Structure 1
Amino acid sequence: MNEFDNTAIERLKSELVDHLNWGEAAHWSTRNFERLSEKIFETTSIQLSVSTLKRFLGKVAYYNKPAPATLDAIAAFLGYEGYMDYRWTVKKPEEPISQISKKKIFIYGLGVLVLMATVAAVSFINHGTQSIDPSKTSFSIKKVTTGLPNTVVFEYDVTKVDANFVEIQQDWDSTKRHKVNPSNTIFTHYYEYPGYYNAKLLVNGFVVSEKDLFIPSDGWMSAISYLNETKPPRYLRKNEFESDSVLRISTDVHNDILIHPDEVSLEFFNAFANPEFEFENFDFKANVRFNTQSGKVPCEFRKLIFFGTKKFIRVPFSVPGCVSQNTLRLGSLVIDGEENDLSDLSVESGEWSNIRVINVDNRLSIYLEDKMVFETDLIDDFGKLAGIRFSFNGSGEVKDLHLSSKGNVLLSLK
């Protein structure tokens, strides 16, 4: 990385921190990085993970240059067209010259850049649209096992087209692309969580094939996720959690969580092997509670996530004093707790809360203790109802769960 890149990236970091006005990034909590990830997605539709943002801002040690997609997303969040647009606003150190010379150099350089960009764009567009015939490429996916973790084998063939630059995008997130060798045919990727993924093969920047990939959970599964994302999730064994009449971890696991409850998230998943029912009609109800009770986590959060084969919704709940940090996600619609009053989506720590979510022809209603606290029309196509997930900062429990669609019982805890 040259000095000019270093200067631009360091200035980008400073501008990001100044823009947020949250204080020094070294003092941010994981929740701050989660909020930043959500804000960037809301502004740019690009998802940067918490670990990526921590590495970029130096919260965790990382000695490589940030990925171009990361730099582009952050620059776009700050109002630039991309990182290169931002980079050219950073002046390379040089000997003092007259204002007239600076102006001449700027005009000349701008003209050269515009010409180069135009030629490159025309060449790239012509090359991509005229040379790539998707029917002459192949793309397939294969899971190597059932359950989790799981490795997926992507097999591709682009030898019959003029492929200069080939990428495989392993899910819907466009930042998660891997450059692959056009001469090779195999790429593998490791998946840690169940869910629905849409994989893509891109040649010279254009999508030539898409494949649906679904990794089911084989019933209820539970995992402990580490919020700093430096460790893989710990999958709980069947004797470490209950899933018949209640979703609850064992006493030993609970005590382990209490040691550092602010560093972990408890997850319960149930991802269907064969989604059959449309997302636009379902009825869910359950009793849920925080169960950390250590005093170490002042802001306790729980997330209720319904995922479809195309998009997902995430309903957040927190203790009352922390609702400003909640974000309600309904497909492409994001409702931020800093700019909206989400105080009705608050519950007390250690107390059971009755939650109900009803979707009728994509009219979504959320109830808490039999009181409607939110209602809206869903604007996206979510596909089929593919599963459900509970996420607790710290620990939590779920009972009396019932999920149905048009009278068909999909999940039940009694």
Structure 2
Amino acid sequence: MLSDSTDLLRCKQLIEQKLDWGASESWISADFDNLQQRILDETGVSLSASTLRRIWGRVDYQHLPSNTTLNTLAQFAGYSDWRAFIKSQATSDLPPDPVGQLPVLPAKSSINWVKLSWIAGLVLLIALIGIVAFEQKPSQLNVNQYSFSSKPLTRGIPNSVIFTYNSSASPTDSVYIQQSWDPRLQTLVDKDGQTHTSIYYEPGYYRAKLIIGKQVVKEHSLIIPTNGWLGCIATKPIPVYLKPSEFIGPDMMKLPVADIQQKNVALQPQPPLVKYVNVGNFDPIALADFSFTSDVKNEYGEGAAACQLAWIVLITNDMPVTMPLSAKGCVSELTLLDGTNTISGKKTDLSRFGVDFSKWVHVSCKSDGHKLYYHINGELAYEATLPQKKVSIVGVAYGFLGTGAVKDIKLQTRNKLVFQAF
């Protein structure tokens, strides 16, 4: 339907605003690979980079996306599903419709409307040229006139954060506090106020920003920690949080399928995303000198979960380092992050990350001051150059499409054991 095309365009616009990567026409292939990973991380659904290219018009394709794809795009844009997104558009401020044709005037009219409209258009064009010619670029604000700080209230999740700010020097009332990279978490605040509170439903490393108009005048790092291990099922808008007794055992972490079903979370047609996260419970470790090992197993492979997608994330104060895993036939869908680049299984041989999940899979990642080395079951799977800037590891996370188990976690630096679990 034509209305679906309009709604899809609006949904893409919201996603582009959220990503803040510039005009989508300038996106390169790696951007679609990165978007694929971002969507997977947030929704638990893997939309292939080729599908995303079709949706954004890089490949000629006349059909509308499937319902699963539409639901996933809507979730990534901040809605529970496509139906909720469509409903919201009925009252939202959509871009104005194209100007329709002028009504046909009576034949007896003696006015040359064609000529008149041409003259009016020329006058408007001259006026616009004058505005552009004399318009001055807005001056940059003096960032020293502003202050911005934050304080989490607890070591648990959810976690409210108290932001303290001073924006009284702002020349505009358009003063915003942004919780993270996500512009959806951007809130208009009182220019002459001093306090704003926000709630974080997931732990991690964030960059909080004070924005005046469109200029970021202050920003700082914000770690939302966990009180030990946090387990959750990544539903939107709020995750389903797990009690420690539901997923933590004496020698491993795991969430049985039956426990997911008891929480009324459907396993089909779209399997859920189960996460185990630990942030802020050990001193930061330099990415240039570390060693990490762990054993994992994806324990659900039915229906749409046949690829048994899983990944380990080393959360850093910059781009994370990820170790993706899947069934052997699905490595084309994998995306690896090495702290600097996004590596797509579409363009890179990631076949070593395809595994047999009927057995425990031993995963390791380490650095030697120059490179990162990824090993799967003792075999070198991938290597990459370390980021040039100083990056530190601040947490560890696991994700399973379906559900999975984890044991034997060790994180070391300079041959010193810094963190160990199970």
Under TM normalisation by the shorter chain, which class is it? 0.7 to 0.9
**Is contact 1:17-1:24 (8 Å) kept?**
no
**Structure 1 pair 235–12 and aligned structure 2 pair: CA distance change class (3 A):** closer
Q: 1:25 Cα deviation (Å)?
A: 2.7
**Is contact 2:301-2:402 (8 Å) kept?**
no
User: Partners of 2:8 and 2:325 in 1: how far apart?
Assistant: 39
User: Partners of 1:270 and 1:179 in 2: how far apart?
Assistant: 31
User: Partners of 1:22 and 1:334 in 2: how far apart?
Assistant: 29
1:182 to 191, 198, 201: 191
Query: Is 2:76 the partner of 1:51?
Result: yes
| Structure 1, unaligned runs of 5 or more | 34-48, 72-86
User: Partners of 1:375 and 1:22 in 2: how far apart?
Assistant: 40
User: Partners of 1:22 and 1:318 in 2: how far apart?
Assistant: 31
Query: Is 2:178 the partner of 1:157?
Result: no
User: Partners of 1:12 and 1:236 in 2: how far apart?
Assistant: 33
User: Partners of 2:295 and 2:11 in 1: how far apart?
Assistant: 48
Query: Is 2:380 the partner of 1:372?
Result: yes
**Is contact 2:282-2:418 (8 Å) kept?**
no
Paired amino acid for 1:63: S
User: Partners of 1:383 and 1:394 in 2: how far apart?
Assistant: 31
2:286 to 278, 282, 285: 278
TM-score, with length taken from structure 2: 0.74
Q: 1:239 Cα deviation (Å)?
A: 1.4
2:251 to 235, 245, 251: 245
**Is contact 1:222-1:267 (8 Å) kept?**
yes
Aligned-partner SS, 1:375: strand
Cα deviation digits, residues 76-112 of structure 1 (max 9, x gap): xxxxxxxxxxx89x85322399999998777765554
User: Partners of 1:210 and 1:331 in 2: how far apart?
Assistant: 21
Query: Is 2:312 the partner of 1:287?
Result: no
**Is contact 1:246-1:398 (8 Å) kept?**
yes
Query: Is 2:411 the partner of 1:398?
Result: no
Over the matched positions of the two proteins, sequence identity in percent amounts to 21
User: Partners of 2:312 and 2:182 in 1: how far apart?
Assistant: 21
User: Partners of 2:349 and 2:113 in 1: how far apart?
Assistant: 54
Query: Is 2:244 the partner of 1:219?
Result: no
Paired amino acid for 2:414: K
Aligned-partner SS, 2:101: coil
Aligned-partner SS, 1:260: coil
**Structure 1 pair 206–255 and aligned structure 2 pair: CA distance change class (3 A):** closer
Higher Rg = 2
Cα deviation digits, residues 265-324 of structure 1 (max 9, x gap): 111111124533212221111111111154452222101111112231222111122222
TM-score, with length taken from structure 1: 0.75
**Structure 1 pair 269–53 and aligned structure 2 pair: CA distance change class (3 A):** closer
Q: 1:244 Cα deviation (Å)?
A: 4.3
User: Partners of 1:57 and 1:251 in 2: how far apart?
Assistant: 27
Query: Is 2:207 the partner of 1:167?
Result: no
**Is contact 2:301-2:307 (8 Å) kept?**
no
Cα deviation digits, residues 214-238 of structure 1 (max 9, x gap): 1111222211112xx2x41122112
User: Partners of 2:123 and 2:304 in 1: how far apart?
Assistant: 59
| Aligned counterpart, 1:94 | 101
- Greater shift after overlay, 50-59 or 179-188? 50-59
Q: 1:393 Cα deviation (Å)?
A: 0.5
| Aligned counterpart, 1:344 | 352
- Greater shift after overlay, 257-266 or 348-357? 257-266
Paired amino acid for 2:338: L
| Aligned counterpart, 2:149 | 140
**Is contact 1:25-1:59 (8 Å) kept?**
no
Aligned-partner SS, 1:93: coil
**Structure 1 pair 334–241 and aligned structure 2 pair: CA distance change class (3 A):** same
Aligned-partner SS, 2:294: strand
**Is contact 1:310-1:381 (8 Å) kept?**
no
Paired amino acid for 2:267: H
User: Partners of 1:16 and 1:251 in 2: how far apart?
Assistant: 34
Paired amino acid for 1:394: G
User: Partners of 2:116 and 2:346 in 1: how far apart?
Assistant: 47
Aligned-partner SS, 2:330: helix
**Structure 1 pair 333–103 and aligned structure 2 pair: CA distance change class (3 A):** farther
**Is contact 2:226-2:280 (8 Å) kept?**
yes
Paired amino acid for 1:186: T
Q: 1:339 Cα deviation (Å)?
A: 3.1
**Structure 1 pair 324–161 and aligned structure 2 pair: CA distance change class (3 A):** same
User: Partners of 2:257 and 2:350 in 1: how far apart?
Assistant: 33
1:236 to 242, 254, 267: 242
Paired amino acid for 2:349: D
User: Partners of 1:119 and 1:347 in 2: how far apart?
Assistant: 63
